[in-house]
Structure 1
Amino acid sequence: MDILRRLTGSIATACEHIPAERAAPSGARCEECGSTFNLRLCATCGHVGCCESQAGHARAHALTQDHPVIYQMPADSGFIWCYRDRTYVG
Protein backbone atom coordinates (compact mmCIF):
# COMPACT_ATOMS: atom_id res chain seq x y z
CA MET A 1 0.00 0.00 0.00
CA ASP A 2 2.89 2.34 0.62
CA ILE A 3 3.89 2.16 -3.05
CA LEU A 4 0.30 2.86 -4.11
CA ARG A 5 0.11 5.84 -1.78
CA ARG A 6 3.30 7.29 -3.29
CA LEU A 7 2.13 6.72 -6.87
CA THR A 8 -1.45 7.92 -6.55
CA GLY A 9 -1.47 10.04 -3.42
CA SER A 10 -4.09 7.76 -1.88
CA ILE A 11 -4.70 4.21 -0.82
CA ALA A 12 -7.17 1.70 -2.19
CA THR A 13 -10.63 1.96 -0.70
CA ALA A 14 -13.37 -0.53 0.05
CA CYS A 15 -16.13 -0.67 -2.54
CA GLU A 16 -19.67 -1.94 -2.07
CA HIS A 17 -19.99 -2.56 -5.82
CA ILE A 18 -17.49 -5.45 -6.00
CA PRO A 19 -19.46 -8.66 -6.64
CA ALA A 20 -19.06 -11.50 -4.13
CA GLU A 21 -17.74 -13.71 -6.93
CA ARG A 22 -15.74 -12.45 -9.90
CA ALA A 23 -17.04 -13.60 -13.29
CA ALA A 24 -14.77 -15.60 -15.59
CA PRO A 25 -13.44 -13.76 -18.67
CA SER A 26 -15.45 -14.21 -21.85
CA GLY A 27 -12.23 -14.42 -23.88
CA ALA A 28 -8.80 -12.92 -24.43
CA ARG A 29 -9.78 -10.07 -26.78
CA CYS A 30 -11.99 -7.01 -26.58
CA GLU A 31 -15.47 -8.24 -27.50
CA GLU A 32 -16.14 -5.14 -29.60
CA CYS A 33 -12.91 -4.39 -31.50
CA GLY A 34 -10.75 -7.49 -31.01
CA SER A 35 -7.87 -5.65 -29.34
CA THR A 36 -5.55 -7.79 -27.21
CA PHE A 37 -3.91 -4.84 -25.42
CA ASN A 38 -4.87 -3.13 -22.15
CA LEU A 39 -7.88 -5.35 -21.54
CA ARG A 40 -10.36 -4.98 -18.69
CA LEU A 41 -12.61 -7.67 -17.23
CA CYS A 42 -16.12 -6.86 -16.03
CA ALA A 43 -16.36 -8.27 -12.51
CA THR A 44 -20.10 -8.81 -12.87
CA CYS A 45 -20.50 -10.68 -16.16
CA GLY A 46 -17.03 -11.44 -17.55
CA HIS A 47 -17.24 -9.05 -20.52
CA VAL A 48 -13.76 -8.29 -21.85
CA GLY A 49 -13.23 -4.80 -23.23
CA CYS A 50 -10.33 -2.50 -24.04
CA CYS A 51 -9.42 0.41 -21.77
CA GLU A 52 -9.69 4.13 -22.42
CA SER A 53 -6.19 4.23 -23.94
CA GLN A 54 -7.63 2.07 -26.74
CA ALA A 55 -11.30 2.50 -27.76
CA GLY A 56 -12.82 2.51 -24.26
CA HIS A 57 -15.12 -0.47 -24.71
CA ALA A 58 -14.73 -1.64 -21.09
CA ARG A 59 -15.92 1.74 -19.81
CA ALA A 60 -18.80 1.84 -22.28
CA HIS A 61 -19.90 -1.61 -21.12
CA ALA A 62 -19.64 -0.63 -17.45
CA LEU A 63 -21.79 2.45 -17.95
CA THR A 64 -24.44 0.99 -20.27
CA GLN A 65 -24.86 -2.29 -18.38
CA ASP A 66 -24.54 -0.82 -14.88
CA HIS A 67 -21.61 -3.14 -14.12
CA PRO A 68 -19.29 -0.64 -12.42
CA VAL A 69 -16.30 -2.75 -11.35
CA ILE A 70 -13.52 -3.86 -13.71
CA TYR A 71 -10.26 -5.73 -13.27
CA GLN A 72 -7.19 -5.20 -15.39
CA MET A 73 -6.36 -8.43 -17.21
CA PRO A 74 -4.93 -10.68 -16.13
CA ALA A 75 -7.50 -10.41 -13.35
CA ASP A 76 -4.94 -11.22 -10.66
CA SER A 77 -2.85 -8.14 -11.57
CA GLY A 78 -4.24 -6.28 -8.55
CA PHE A 79 -5.82 -3.37 -10.46
CA ILE A 80 -9.51 -2.96 -9.65
CA TRP A 81 -11.48 0.14 -10.66
CA CYS A 82 -15.03 1.21 -9.83
CA TYR A 83 -16.57 3.48 -12.47
CA ARG A 84 -19.52 4.37 -10.24
CA ASP A 85 -17.28 5.62 -7.41
CA ARG A 86 -14.61 6.75 -9.87
CA THR A 87 -11.91 5.26 -7.67
CA TYR A 88 -9.17 2.65 -7.53
CA VAL A 89 -10.32 -0.06 -5.14
CA GLY A 90 -7.60 -2.66 -5.27
Structure 2
Amino acid sequence: MLEAQGIAVDAELLDGADVTDTILAYASEHEVDTIVMGATRQGLLSRALFGDVPETVGERFDGEVLLVRHYQPTRSLVRAWFQRWLGERRVPTVSK
Protein backbone atom coordinates (compact mmCIF):
# COMPACT_ATOMS: atom_id res chain seq x y z
CA MET A 1 0.00 0.00 0.00
CA LEU A 2 1.27 3.46 -0.91
CA GLU A 3 0.35 6.63 0.91
CA ALA A 4 0.31 9.90 -1.02
CA GLN A 5 -1.18 13.14 0.29
CA GLY A 6 -3.01 11.19 2.99
CA ILE A 7 -4.73 8.90 0.47
CA ALA A 8 -4.18 5.15 0.68
CA VAL A 9 -3.38 3.62 -2.72
CA ASP A 10 -3.01 -0.07 -3.54
CA ALA A 11 -0.77 -0.98 -6.47
CA GLU A 12 -0.70 -4.51 -7.86
CA LEU A 13 1.21 -6.29 -10.61
CA LEU A 14 -1.24 -8.64 -12.33
CA ASP A 15 -0.64 -11.51 -14.73
CA GLY A 16 -3.29 -12.68 -17.18
CA ALA A 17 -3.97 -13.57 -20.80
CA ASP A 18 -6.33 -10.63 -21.44
CA VAL A 19 -5.37 -7.27 -19.92
CA THR A 20 -8.89 -5.86 -19.72
CA ASP A 21 -10.45 -9.00 -18.24
CA THR A 22 -7.61 -9.32 -15.70
CA ILE A 23 -8.03 -5.73 -14.50
CA LEU A 24 -11.81 -6.03 -14.25
CA ALA A 25 -11.65 -9.41 -12.46
CA TYR A 26 -9.21 -8.02 -9.89
CA ALA A 27 -11.38 -4.93 -9.36
CA SER A 28 -14.46 -7.09 -8.84
CA GLU A 29 -12.76 -9.54 -6.47
CA HIS A 30 -11.25 -6.78 -4.32
CA GLU A 31 -14.22 -4.38 -4.39
CA VAL A 32 -12.18 -1.62 -6.03
CA ASP A 33 -14.06 1.67 -6.42
CA THR A 34 -11.56 3.56 -8.61
CA ILE A 35 -9.08 2.41 -11.27
CA VAL A 36 -6.23 4.74 -12.26
CA MET A 37 -4.49 3.83 -15.49
CA GLY A 38 -2.42 5.37 -18.24
CA ALA A 39 -4.20 6.66 -21.33
CA THR A 40 -3.21 4.89 -24.51
CA ARG A 41 -0.76 6.42 -26.98
CA GLN A 42 -1.31 3.80 -29.65
CA GLY A 43 -2.31 4.62 -33.18
CA LEU A 44 -5.64 3.89 -34.82
CA LEU A 45 -4.43 0.69 -36.49
CA SER A 46 -3.06 -0.76 -33.24
CA ARG A 47 -6.29 0.03 -31.39
CA ALA A 48 -8.35 -1.55 -34.19
CA LEU A 49 -6.30 -4.76 -34.14
CA PHE A 50 -5.71 -5.17 -30.41
CA GLY A 51 -8.41 -3.05 -28.78
CA ASP A 52 -8.21 -0.01 -26.57
CA VAL A 53 -7.71 -1.25 -23.00
CA PRO A 54 -8.44 2.01 -21.11
CA GLU A 55 -11.61 2.65 -23.14
CA THR A 56 -12.88 -0.90 -22.65
CA VAL A 57 -12.15 -0.81 -18.90
CA GLY A 58 -13.99 2.52 -18.68
CA GLU A 59 -17.02 1.12 -20.48
CA ARG A 60 -17.22 -2.11 -18.47
CA PHE A 61 -16.21 -0.95 -14.96
CA ASP A 62 -19.02 0.18 -12.65
CA GLY A 63 -16.81 2.52 -10.60
CA GLU A 64 -14.64 5.47 -11.53
CA VAL A 65 -11.82 5.19 -14.08
CA LEU A 66 -9.18 7.91 -14.07
CA LEU A 67 -6.99 8.06 -17.18
CA VAL A 68 -3.69 9.87 -16.87
CA ARG A 69 -1.07 10.77 -19.40
CA HIS A 70 2.09 12.79 -19.58
CA TYR A 71 1.64 16.31 -20.93
CA GLN A 72 3.43 16.69 -24.23
CA PRO A 73 3.11 19.97 -26.12
CA THR A 74 2.35 19.56 -29.80
CA ARG A 75 4.44 21.39 -32.37
CA SER A 76 1.73 21.71 -34.99
CA LEU A 77 -1.85 20.75 -35.71
CA VAL A 78 -0.69 18.47 -38.54
CA ARG A 79 1.66 16.58 -36.24
CA ALA A 80 -1.09 16.28 -33.62
CA TRP A 81 -3.44 14.80 -36.23
CA PHE A 82 -0.85 12.24 -37.38
CA GLN A 83 -0.02 11.29 -33.81
CA ARG A 84 -3.68 10.85 -32.94
CA TRP A 85 -4.52 8.63 -35.91
CA LEU A 86 -1.26 6.85 -36.61
CA GLY A 87 0.33 6.80 -33.18
CA GLU A 88 3.56 8.32 -32.04
CA ARG A 89 6.64 6.96 -33.75
CA ARG A 90 9.68 6.73 -31.53
CA VAL A 91 13.07 7.08 -33.14
CA PRO A 92 15.81 5.23 -31.28
CA THR A 93 18.65 7.46 -30.12
CA VAL A 94 22.28 6.43 -30.20
CA SER A 95 24.67 7.93 -27.68
CA LYS A 96 28.40 7.97 -28.24
CA radius of gyration, larger in: 2
Tell me the TM-score normalised to structure 1 length: 0.30
Structure with the larger RCO, 1 or 2 (CA within 8 Å, 6+ apart)? 2
TM-score normalised per structure 2: 0.29
Instruction: Choose between structure 1 and 2: higher helix proportion.
Output: 2
